[in-house]
Structure 1
Amino acid sequence: MNRSLTNRQIWHWRIAIYFIFALPGFTIASWVSRTPAIRDALGATTSQMGWIILGMSIGAIVGLTSASHLIAHKGGRFVMMTGLSINAVGLLAVGICGTLLTNSMMLFVGLAVFGFGHGICDVAMNVEGTAVEKVAQKSLLTGFHAAFSVGTLLGSLAGTGAVRIGISVPIHLAIAVAVLLFTTLYVYRLVPAGTAKEAGDSKVKSMNVKERMAIWKERRTILVGIIVLGMAFAEGSANDWLPLLMVDGYKVTPAMGSFSFGVFVAAMTLCRAVGGKLLDRFGRVVILRASAISAIIGLLLVIFGHNHVVAIVGIVFWGVGAACGFPVGLSAAGDDPRGVAARVGAVSTVGYIAFLVGPPVLGLIGQSVGLLRALIVVLIAVVVAGLLSQAAKPLGAQTRKANDQKTKFESIS
Structure 2
Amino acid sequence: MTNSHARLVERASVAVFVVFFLNGFNFATWAARLPAIRDGLDFSPAQMGALLLVGAVGSLVALPLSGMVVERLGARRTVFAFAVLNAVGLVIASVGVAFGQVLVVGFGLVLFGIGTSVWDAAMNLEGAAVEQHLGRTIMPRYHAGFSFGTVAAAGLAAVMAWLHVPVVVHVPIAVVASVVVVGLVVRRFLTPADEAAVAHEDAPEKGARGALAAWLEPRTLLIGLIVLAAGLTEGSANDWVSLAVVDGFSTGEALGALAFGVFVAAMTSMRWFGVALLDRRGRVVVLRVCAVLSLVGLLVFALAGPLWLALVGVVAWGAGAAFGFPVGLSAAADDPRRAPARVSVVATIGYSAFLAGPPLIGLLAQHVGYRHALLVVIVPIALGLCVVGAAAPLRVGAPDEAPTPRD
Which TM-score applies when normalising by structure 2?
Answer: 0.83
User: 1:13–1:132: 8 Å Cα contact kept in structure 2?
Assistant: yes
Query: Which consecutive unaligned segments of at least 5 residues does structure 1 have?
Result: 404-413
CA contact (8 A) 1:289 1:389 kept: yes
CA contact (8 A) 2:55 2:112 kept: yes
2:180 partner amino acid? F
Counterpart in 2 of 1:105? 103
**Post-superposition offset of 1:230:** 1.8
Residues 68 and 123 in structure 1, CA contact (< 8 A), matched pair in contact too:
yes
Q: What residue is the counterpart of 2:233 in the other structure?
A: 234
Corresponding residue for residue 136 of structure 2: 138
Equivalent pair of 2:68/2:207 in contact (CA under 8 Å): no
Letter in 2 for 1:346: V
For 1:264 and 1:73, locate their aligned partners in 2 and report how far apart those are by CA, in whole Å. 37
Q: TM-score, normalised by structure 1?
A: 0.82
- For residue 16 of structure 2, what is the amino acid of its counterpart? I
The answer to whether residue 98 in structure 2 is matched with residue 94 in structure 1 is no
Cα distance change, pair 270–336 in 1 and its aligned pair in 2 (3 A): same
Q: Could you tell me which residue of structure 2 aligns to residue 325 of structure 1?
A: 324
Check if 1:353 corresponds to 2:352: yes
Give, as a single letter, the amino acid of the residue that structure 2 aligns with 1:132.
Answer: V
**SS across alignment from 1:397:** coil
Q: What is the CA distance between 1:387 and its match in structure 2?
A: 2.2
For the 8 Å contact 1:18–1:144, the answer to whether it is kept is: yes
| Aligned positions, number | 399
Instruction: List per-residue Cα deviations over 1:254-292 (Å, max 9, x = no partner).
Output: 577665544332211110111322222322112112212
Matches within 5 A, 1:309-320: 310-320=309-319
Question: Alpha-carbon deviation of 1:84?
Answer: 1.4
What's the counterpart of residue 17 of structure 2? 18
| Residue of structure 1 in register with 2:294 after alignment | 295
Q: Equivalent residue for 1:411?
A: none
Q: RMSD between aligned alpha carbons?
A: 3.6
Q: Judging changes above 3 Å, is the alpha-carbon distance between structure 1 residues 307 and 345 closer, same or farther for their aligned structure 2 residues?
A: same
Distance 1:366 1:175, change over 3 A: closer
Structure 2 unaligned residues grouped into runs of 5+:
403-407
C-alpha distance in structure 2 between counterparts of 1:247 and 1:203, whole Å: 56
Structure 1 pair 27–299 and aligned structure 2 pair: CA distance change class (3 A): closer
Residue of structure 1 in register with 2:188 after alignment: 190
1:76 aligns with 2:85: no
Classify 1:161/1:21 alpha carbon distance in 2 versus 1 (closer, same or farther; 3 Å): same
Separation of aligned partners in 1, 2:294 and 2:38: 35
Structure 2 counterpart SS, 1:189: helix
* Matched residue, 2:220: 221
Structure 2 letter corresponding to 1:294: L
Q: C-alpha distance in 2, partners of 1:127/1:64?
A: 13
Of all paired residues, the percent bearing the same amino acid is 38
Identify if the C-alpha distance between structure 1 residues 3 and 343 changes in structure 2 by more than 3 Å, giving closer, same or farther.
Answer: farther
Q: In structure 2, which of residues 148, 151, 154 is the aligned counterpart of residue 153 of structure 1?
A: 151
Equivalent of 1:125, from 95, 100, 123?
123
Alignment correspondent of 2:405: none
Structure 1 contact 76–196 (Cα < 8 Å) conserved: no
Answer yes or no: is the 8 Å Cα contact 1:333–1:347 preserved in 2: yes
- Give the C-alpha shift of residue 76 in structure 1: 2.2
Which one-letter code corresponds to 2:274 in the other structure? Answer: G
Judge which range, 209-218 or 219-228, deviates more: 209-218
Displacement of 1:142: 1.3
| Alpha-carbon distance in 1 for matches of 2:38, 2:316 | 35
Look up the SS of the partner of 2:335 in the other structure.
Answer: coil
Q: Find the counterpart in structure 2 of residue 276 from structure 1.
A: 275
Q: Is the 8 A contact 1:302 1:314 kept in 2?
A: yes
Query: How many Å separate the matches in 2 of 1:7 and 1:36?
Result: 46
Comparing 188-197 with 75-84, which one deviates more in the overlay? 188-197
User: Shift of the alpha carbon at 1:33?
Assistant: 4.8
8 Å contact from structure 1 (residues 138, 280) kept in 2: no
- Which amino acid in 1 is paired with 2:221? I
Aligned ranges for residues 35-74 of structure 1 at < 5 Å?
Answer: 45-46=43-44, 50-74=49-73
SS in 1 for 2:287: helix
Shift, 1:147, TM fit = 1.1
Q: Is the 8 A contact 1:207 1:338 kept in 2?
A: no
